[in-house]
Amino acid sequence: MAASSSGSSTLKRTLCTFIRYRSVRCVRQCNASIRTVCTSGSTSQLQPKIQSKGVSSQLRGVVGLEIHAQIHATSKLFACSRVAFCSPPNSSVAFLDASLPGTLPVLNRRCVEAAVITGLALNCTINRKSLFDRKHYFYADMPAGYQITQQRLPIAVNGSLIYSYFGGRKRNQVLSRCVRIKQIQLEQDSGKSLHDDQRSQTLIDLNRAGVGLMELVMEADMSCGDEAAAAVRELQLILQTLGTCQGNMSEGQLRVDANVSVHCPGEPLGVRTEVKNINSARYVARAIDYEIQRQKKVLENGGIIVNETRAFDSKSGTTIPMRDKEGLQDYRFMPEPNLPPLFVYEDEASVPAGVNPTQVVMIDRLKAELPELPGVRRARMVDQYKILPEHSFTLVNEDGLTEYFERVVRNTKAEPRKVIGWVMKELLGNLNQQSLKLAQSPVSPEALADLLNVLESGHISSSAAKVVFQEMWKAPEKAVEQLVKELDLGLVSDREKLLKICQKVVDTHPEQLNVPTTKSNLLTIGGLDLESHTKLKWKNTLQADPTLM
């Protein structure tokens, strides 16, 4: 945008494309979208003492997380502009988002509700009164020169998150952990800067500026990458279940910063570093484990840990220091004077006179609408259907899978433990093989239930059922009975017919007769050769009623 002209027409024109300015970048290597306060008081923390090399093995990692979750809402936190991904640059920018002078923030109730719902799901205390503050720093994609956040009194505090992960030697043990949630605060997202180093230009897109974020601060209750990644995954699942955040990490809807330090158990915490911009749960684990190892090595070699901000480089799998001075920045916090305190109410009775109850956020209403949370659902699955705990994880992790499973169970006589096998093996196997989402599955839960009913009735064998399943996958329009008939997969129950077949096999393969005749051997023999010696298809040999063999 030209320096001199800034009329509204120019402004509107500008807002449909990138806002650009010439720049020579000198500070920032990685574009941290949201800066957070760096570890106060950490400088006074002790460097773990290393007496001998052997001690380093006693050093333990200490991990805390700060997670920014974009609130799933149609409009932004303080403006009516749409929240839209992948739309043309600066096409969803309200006057407030561009920080035009004279604009004022107006709080979006949906965002408050999302934070309260999330707080309730994470066992937080919801503050009946919370406050907004301004956090100041200059950055081109933060046009007001400050971010509105909740530094002094956030909307929710003192919660906890229970998460589980597979640990132990074989990684098959379900380990359960709890991390404390220090607080959840509402704040604005920033815009995005695109640096064109070749032309010394910076392009700014404000579509994301002002989108509502929940910053969740997890206490340093974790000790390794696996734990942190599991906590992130569990949080992601909870947010998705609640619908308060879509949780797609690669799209930046969920962004993780990790505070990592090492110490010897029983001793004060060590100096921590902050690893920023981790955009997948897998990278969370890798970044943290790398950082713990790095710190251990530094201490082992007699070095000291510097309180700094580092970035995770997914290509090399390492963390590298960010060349900015954010750690030294003073954010000059100040109360946001344009927003009165945010009040939420317990129930209708606690809403003061003169306040319209339909316009306020009421906790009991939101509580009543809380969906079944992943942890509760897993426990119920194990309890109600007697399935294995690890299966309950798979059921809950895959969006809609629990519902699918339960619909099959409702519609079939088959035992839930049998159903789960089919869901885990056949259904998920096929989905994974073809990289499909559950919603794209050609086999509906009712169809699977039909198949299992046919199987239960003894009309087909379980291996034949698997064949039918594959056919159903290819031709979802056909009913199970139709497929069974078409493929001629019904069990051969005619004794005479079976005898003839077997005789033929035996006759053509006298060498096989040395093998002791057992039921399974007979089947094998048939399986090997029937195709070539009879007009029946190979598969058909298995359809003999086992009791008759």
Partner 1 sequence: MLSLSIGEVSAALRKGRLSATELCRRCLNRIRKTRHLNAYITVTEDLAMKQAQEAELRLTRGKPLGPLDGIPFSVKDNFCTENIETTCASHMLRGYFPPFSATVVQKLLDQGAVLVGKTNLDEFAMGSGSTDSVFGPVRNPWSYSVSYREQSREQDPDSDWVIAGGSSGGSAAAVASLSSFMALGSDTGGSTRNPGSLCGLVALKPTYGLLSRHGLIPLVNSMDVPGIMTRTVHDAATVLDVLQGRDEKDSTTVESAYSPSSLPEEFDVRDICVGVPKEYHAPGMSAETLAQWGRVVALFERAGARVKEVSLPHTQHSIVCYHVLCCCEVASNMARFDGLQYGHRSKVDSSTEALYATTRHEGFNSVVRSRILAGNYFLLKQNYDRYFVKAQQIRRLITEDFRRVFQSGVDVLLTPTTLSDAARYSDFIQEDNRTRSAQEDIFTQPVNVAGLPAVTVPTALSSRGLPISLQLIGQSFQDMKLLTVANWMEQQLDFPIIRFHDDTDQERECKLGS
410 vs 416: CA distance, rounded Å? 9
103 binds partner 1 (CB under 8 A): yes
23 binds partner 1 (CB under 8 A): yes
Per residue in 200-237, is it b (16+ CB within 10 Å) or e — as a string? Answer: ebbbbbbbbbbbbbbbbbbebbbbbbbbbbbbbbbbbb
Smallest distance, partner 1 to C-beta of residue 9, A: 8
Site for partner 1 in 495-534 (CB under 8 A): none
98 vs 330: CA distance, rounded Å? 24
Smallest distance, partner 1 to C-beta of residue 5, A: 6
Residue 419, SS3 per DSSP: helix
Helix spans in 222-315 (H) = 225-242, 281-300
Name the strand (E) or helix (H) holding 446. helix 445-456
The one-letter amino acid code at 381 reads M
Smallest distance, partner 1 to C-beta of residue 345, A: 18
95 binds partner 1 (CB under 8 A): yes
Smallest distance, partner 1 to C-beta of residue 118, A: 23
Question: Judged by CB under 8 A, which stretch of 20-28, 155-163, 379-387, 483-491 contacts partner 1?
Answer: 20-28
* DSSP E strands, 46-91: 60-70
Among 131, 162, 194, 339, binds partner 1 (CB under 8 A): 339
41 binds partner 1 (CB under 8 A): no
Q: Which is nearer to partner 1, 234 or 336 (CB)?
A: 336
98 binds partner 1 (CB under 8 A): yes
125 vs 116: CA distance, rounded Å? 9
Among 50, 114, 181, 204, binds partner 1 (CB under 8 A): 204
**216 backbone φψ class: left, alpha, beta (φ>0; ψ -120 to 50):** beta
Smallest distance, partner 1 to C-beta of residue 12, A: 7
12 binds partner 1 (CB under 8 A): yes
Closest-CA residue to 406 (of 468, 459, 442, 449):
449
The answer to whether 428 and 398 are in contact (CB under 8 A) is yes
Q: How many residues bind partner 1 (CB under 8 A)?
A: 49
Closest-CA residue to 442 (of 466, 472, 413):
472
340 binds partner 1 (CB under 8 A): yes
Question: Judged by CB under 8 A, which stretch of 16-24, 296-304, 309-317, 449-457 contacts partner 1?
Answer: 16-24
Residue 227, SS3 per DSSP: helix
Q: Which is nearer to partner 1, 104 or 436 (CB)?
A: 104
Question: Judged by CB under 8 A, which stretch of 12-20, 114-122, 316-324, 513-521 contacts partner 1?
Answer: 12-20
The one-letter amino acid code at 148 reads I
Cα 321 to the center of its chain, rounded Å: 27
Contact string (CB under 8 A) for partner 1, positions 139-168, x = contact: -x--xxxx----------------------
Among 106, 194, 298, 523, binds partner 1 (CB under 8 A): 106
Any idea what DSSP says for residue 462?
H
Smallest distance, partner 1 to C-beta of residue 263, A: 27
18 binds partner 1 (CB under 8 A): no
Site for partner 1 in 225-254 (CB under 8 A): none
7 binds partner 1 (CB under 8 A): yes
Closest-CA residue to 258 (of 285, 297, 298, 296):
285
80 vs 207: CA distance, rounded Å? 12
Question: Judged by CB under 8 A, which stretch of 4-12, 284-292, 427-435, 513-521 contacts partner 1?
Answer: 4-12
Residue 87, SS3 per DSSP: coil
Among 52, 54, 138, 477, binds partner 1 (CB under 8 A): 138
Site for partner 1 in 319-338 (CB under 8 A): 330, 332-334, 337-338
Smallest distance, partner 1 to C-beta of residue 119, A: 22
97 vs 74: CA distance, rounded Å? 15
Q: Looking at the DSSP assignment, which residues form a beta bridge with residue 214? A: 69, 186
Among 30, 85, 91, 100, binds partner 1 (CB under 8 A): 100
Smallest distance, partner 1 to C-beta of residue 10, A: 8
- Specify the pairing of strand 318-321 against strand 146-149: unpaired
Nearest-10 crossing angle of helices 401-410, 445-456 = 40
In the complex, the residues that contact partner 1 under the rule CB under 8 A are 1-9, 11-12, 14, 19, 21-27, 95, 98-107, 134, 136, 138, 140, 143-146, 202, 204, 330, 332-334, 337-340
